[in-house]
Amino acid sequence: MKNALLKEKLQEMNFIMSDLLVMIEKDDISHEAIRENPTSLPEAWARNQKNLENRIASGVLVPANKEDEKMEGTIIKRADGAYEVRVMVNGKQQYIGRAKTVLEARKLRSIAVSSKKKGKLKTKSKMLYDWIDEWIEKYKQNQVRPSTLSEIKSVVKNHIRTHFTNKAIDKITLDEVQTGLLQISSSKMRETTKAYLHEIFKRAQQNGLIKFNPVEAAVIPKHIESEGRALSPQEEQIFFEKIKSSPNYGPFLFMRWTGSRPVGAEIVEWKDIDFQNKSVFVDDKKTKIKRAVPLVAELGDYLVRITQTPGKIFPNFRARNCSRTTKNLNLGFDITPKDLRTTFGTQCADNGVPIEILSRWMGHTTTKTTEKYYIKKLSTLSKNNAHLIDSHKKTH
């Protein structure tokens, strides 16, 4: 034990001296200065360590000296400030471990390379949380929409880190994945979390960190879309009177008269409004369909009254906060954003809009969905009433 500790201390001294020798060769510190003031050695080494930090480029540590250049392996600085060590094993970069400082990382690499030469190298498995952070940094950061990145980080923080133990990623079993997912109460969030976990483990499998993806075999109850309900005229009036002074009045009005989902109100831009042809183009991120809906007078009158600036119509509106807004109104009855969409679709059907046209307005890929959720009984009114959305309001 004493010999191992002594060997470790000698290796540490060797790293320090090699750094100092490089500095002397580059005239960063003179021989005279060392002779006159021996205490300058620790200061010089500390200054050299700072120089090493400054020489980190693109996340990879630039070799400090000739010996370092010959050394196998790579030291990478992570976004969290830690240093990750990798060594080539059987043609692949294998994760060895993490260290807090460059010096510790070099020690770790030196030991790993020495063990490799003796055929005794045991690579360390990635921990789940470390791999998730790396996955976000390498494969999601700057590659997905800001809103998507925000959702990923939220799922990781509130569901994955809450319900899954931080252990070696290659030791995580199907049973642990299954148990963790079932602890998530919301069926929709459970599906979302499973989808992101599947991506996380699939990439780990592609990178050689695990042999199989345990998420693939996980089985969870299917999320069933809850049906919205059509508001009565009285409920609708109470709701819009209540939020008339709210900054969310416009987005909710847009949802009511276009059948848009909340995200549609968040991303709609002025270029999507065709006042001349009385049309609104709604971008539906769920079905990937951009559909044209008639511009009714109530919505059109509101839009012409507000300031038009390039870009989004409602730049401060966030779809993810939509449900929270409706819950805090104390109306005396429950209301959800989906109820506004249901009110639009049901009222159109009651006013005689043919199912084929209504299906396009709702962004459905099949009329079966439209009939299931919005047509309680097929209207027998005139088929020529396709331009009607509200029998009491004309298009703008």
CATH code, domain with 142: 1.10.150.130
SS3 for the chain, per residue? CHHHHHHHHHHHHHHHHHHHHHHHHCCCCCHHHHHHCCCHHHHHHHHHHHHHHHCEECCEECCCCHHHHHCCCEEEECCCCCEEEEEEECCEEEEEEEECCHHHHHHHHHHHHHHHHCCCCCCCCCEHHHHHHHHHHHHCCCCCCHHHHHHHHHHHHHHHHHHCCCCEHHHCCHHHHHHHHHCCCCHHHHHHHHHHHHHHHHHHHHCCCCCCCCCCCCCCCCCCCCCCCCCCHHHHHHHHHHCCCCCCHHHHHHHHHHCCCHHHHHHCEHHHEECCCCEEEEEECCCCEEEEEECEHHHHHHHHHCCCCCCECCCCCCHHHHHHHHHCCCCCCCCCHHHHHHHHHHHHHHCCCCHHHHHHHHCCCCHHHHHHHHCCCCCCCCCCCCCCCECCECEC
Let me know if residue 271 belongs to a domain.
yes
Based on the fold, state whether residues 322 and 280 are members of the same structural domain: yes
Let me know if residue 12 belongs to a domain.
yes
Q: What is the pTM of this model?
A: 0.50
Based on the fold, state whether residues 166 and 285 are members of the same structural domain: no
Based on the fold, state whether residues 76 and 99 are members of the same structural domain: yes
Let me know if residue 141 belongs to a domain.
yes
Based on the fold, state whether residues 177 and 198 are members of the same structural domain: yes
Based on the fold, state whether residues 16 and 46 are members of the same structural domain: yes
Q: pLDDT 10s digit of each residue in the chain, 396 long?
A: 456 555 555 555 555 555 554 444 444 444 455 455 544 445 544 554 444 444 433 344 444 444 454 567 788 887 778 888 888 776 667 778 888 888 888 888 888 888 777 777 766 678 899 999 989 998 998 888 887 888 899 999 999 999 999 999 999 999 999 999 999 988 888 999 999 999 999 999 998 889 899 999 998 888 666 677 888 999 999 999 998 888 899 999 999 999 998 888 998 999 999 999 999 998 876 666 788 999 999 999 999 999 888 899 999 988 878 877 787 788 888 888 889 999 998 888 888 889 898 888 888 888 888 887 776 534 433 333 434 455 444 444
Domain closes at, from 98, 124, 150: 124
Domain closes at, from 160, 190, 206: 206
Write out the residue range of the structural domain in which residue 316 sits.
Answer: 233-374
Let me know if residue 390 belongs to a domain.
no
The count of domains in the chain is 3
Based on the fold, state whether residues 8 and 133 are members of the same structural domain: no
Let me know if residue 211 belongs to a domain.
no
Based on the fold, state whether residues 134 and 96 are members of the same structural domain: no
Based on the fold, state whether residues 239 and 326 are members of the same structural domain: yes
